[in-house]
Every structure is written in C-alpha cells, then in structure tokens.
Amino acid sequence: MSHLFLNNHLILCVAASDGYLALWDLAQGLRKRGISIRNGQLVTNPPYIATEPDQTTWCHRTKVHESAIMALESIRIDQHDILVATGGDDNAIGLTRVRYDHHAAQLVSCSTLRVNRAHACAITGIKYIHCDESSDTEIRYRIATAGIDQRVKTWDITLACNDTDMVKAQVRRAQNSHCAVADASDMDMMKLDGATGERLVVGGIGIEVRSLKGL
C-alpha cells in the first residue's frame, strides 16, 4: 500500500494477493469530513465532521501480476501522472503508469509493462532511488529490487514525458549483486546519524545497509 498527492487529490495504491493493483481517490471522502488537501498536505477545516465510514470503491483496478504482489512503490511523475512499480510472486517487475484528470476527477489512462524473470524467485522489496530529468523529452528513474534469491538489483526505467504508453518504455538492468540477508522481506531508504546521504536497507533474517554510491 502506498499513497501520493496529485494536486487536490489523494491517490491510494493498493496491491493484493490476486495480482491486481487498485487505485482509490480519497479526496471526496475526506472533504465530507471537513478535511481538504492543500499543497500535498491534509488540512482540517473546523468543525471536524465525524461520520460513519463511507461505502466507497476503487476508481481503477488492473491486473499486473500472475499471482501475489509482494512489493509496491509509487512515484509521482508530474501533476497528472504517477508510476507504480510492483514486485510479484511471479518473479516479475510490474511498471504501471497512470494519468489522472483532476477536473473530471477520474483516471483517463493506465498502461502496464511487465519485466518477466527479473529475479529467480519472488520479488519482496522494491524502492525508488532517484531520477534524471535532464532531457526535455524523456525522464529516467532508477529503482532497486530485492528477492528471495538473495540478489539486489538496480534498474533504469526511461519514460517519454508526454506518452503514457508503457510499451514504449525502456527498462535496463544496471546492477546485480549478492545480498547477505536470507529471506528478504522488504527494503527501504534511510539516513543514518552522522552519515552523508541516504542508505538502502534490506530486511529479512537480518538487515543489510548499503551505500547509494554507484547505485
């Protein structure tokens, strides 16, 4: 599960064991309770209105993996587009680009690219590292993945700025290294006290902390 603010909307990304990715727009339900979204933050407008939970539903649902989704990371591309990266029990990476129309308050396009055989076993950790916006026509993201196969890999994803069709996206494996953590279950970024820059942390039966230099 992950969330992103897009203008005055809060998009919740939910992945499940059926291989589906579901997107929820929570803005309307929040407004009913006197909570608005401004500049990427939730703002309470008194008086706060306590009501019964809404019977809401997702705004879009799409099949990404053949089986369970084990890891999810959402990345904001711009005010309209998001990229959702997922790792599955099918050993694949899913890259789903979503465009949201704020005026119509609805999703207008959704395209998925799947990188099969990305790992030898299930992918249980996925994390956004950085992006390169030096080009006017394309943008490049680097993500890291961890799997049960005790490998940590980094990937370069190149997207066209104005084309949401993921078939045209380019994915290249940048690095592939051994991980000392058995049964890796998640990965995250953290900043250590007294250290410069962030670190990539892999957790499972033990913890491994990696420098981002060269990643």
pLDDT digits (tens, 9 = 90+) for 177-198: 999 999 999 999 988 766 667 8
Q: What is the pTM of this model?
A: 0.89
Q: Which of 141, 142, 87, 161 is nearest to 118 (CA)?
A: 87
Give, as one character, the DSSP assignment of residue 116.
Answer: T
What sign does the dihedral 169-159-14-72 (CA atoms) show? positive
Determine the Cα–Cα distance for residues 19 and 179; give it in Å rounded to an integer: 26
- Between residues 167 and 101, the one the model is more confident about: 167
State the alpha helices, DSSP H only, in the chain. 27-32
pLDDT classification of 48: cutoffs 50, 70, 90: low
Burial class (CB in 10 A: 0-12, 13-18, 19+), 50: exposed
